[in-house]
Amino acid sequence: MSILREARLSDLPAIEALVKAAYGHYVDRIGKIPGPIRDIDDHRYAHHIEAGHVSLLFDDVTSKKSVDADNGDEPVGLLVLIPQPDTLLLDNVAVAPTAQGRGFGKVLMQVAEARARQLEFDSITLYTQELMHDNLAIYRRYGYLETRRVRERGLDRVYLRKPLIE
């Protein structure tokens, strides 16, 4: 059984470790430090946690009523969702390399879409680095459509949007 809970500031070390593990292998491919790792140095995760935008996914916690990274529970995934005026921005979805291929990414994507609907948004938007071809393919399989390509923070990003109106 997995548990999703809102992140706390005490989770920052675990969040940073997860992000570095999930995105570190892209440095060679894109020739730059990926945005989610840059966000560590820019202290964005602390800001997002304080705003209530970060959720953590934990696994193998069937015997526990709660989980706490301070007590050695390691998150298998994270989700950063930021409400915008006209859409919910899925700013980051990451799964620990040791947990990839077990359906956690799919769970996190479903949670993001459910949260967007709960907040009454008619779409969810995300972006990725254009050289992260595997991510682009995954997002397209989930029904996201490319809306634009821009250069931000020195990175070539592809924005995608998924309409949620049925």
Q: What is the CATH number of the domain that holds 42?
A: 3.40.630.30
Mean pLDDT throughout 29-37? 92
Q: What percent of the chain has pLDDT over 70?
A: 92
Q: What does the pLDDT read at residue 62?
A: 45
Q: What does the pLDDT read at residue 1?
A: 73
Q: How many domains is the chain partitioned into structurally?
A: 1
Q: What does the pLDDT read at residue 63?
A: 39
Which residues are CB-neighbours of 115 under 8 A, at least 6 positions away?
A: 81, 88
Residue in 12, 70, 6, 21 with CA at minimum distance from that of residue 44:
12
When the pLDDT of each residue in the chain is averaged and rounded to a whole number, the result is 91
pTM assigned to the model: 0.90
pLDDT of residue 42 exceeding 90: no
Q: What residue numbers bound the domain in which 117 lies?
A: 3-163
- 83, 122 in Cβ contact below 8 A? no
Q: How far is CA 1 from CA 4, 22, 107, 116, in A?
A: 10, 22, 12, 24
